[in-house]
């Protein structure tokens, strides 16, 4: 099971990749804007593993080819 924002879901549908965009995912409080890493303390509290989250990408970074 993957936990996605709606934007992540659309990226997955368009490309087949599970990715998130950095400026949006920081609003979830389980990613640190400074380190650009998942916040392990928050994930542990939510009982979510990093494998259940999409890969982190910077704004404007290519995600994949359109299907």
Domain ranges of the chain: 6-57
pTM of the entire predicted model = 0.82
Nearest to 19 by CA among 67, 65, 63, 66: 63
Per-residue pLDDT at 32: 82
Residue 50: exposed, middle, or buried by beta-carbon count in 10 A (0-12, 13-18, 19+)? exposed
Local confidence band at 2 (pLDDT 50, 70, 90 cut-offs): very high
Per-residue pLDDT at 13: 96
What is the Cα–Cα distance from 19 to 13, expressed in whole angstroms? 11
CA dihedral of 66, 16, 5, 63, whole degrees rounded to 10: -50
What confidence tens digit (pLDDT) does each residue in 3-62 have?
999 999 999 999 999 999 888 887 888 888 788 888 889 999 999 999 999 998 888 888
Q: What is the DSSP letter of 19?
A: E
Nearest to 65 by CA among 17, 21, 18: 17
């Amino acid at each position: 099971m993957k936990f996605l924002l709606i934007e992540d879901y659309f990226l997955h549908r368009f490309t087949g990749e599970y990715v998130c965009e950095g400026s949006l995912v920081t609003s979830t409080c389980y990613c640190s804007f400074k380190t650009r890493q998942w916040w392990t303390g928050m994930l542990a509290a939510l009982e979510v593993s990093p494998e259940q989250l999409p890969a982190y990408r910077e704004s404007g970074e290519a995600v994949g080819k359109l299907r």
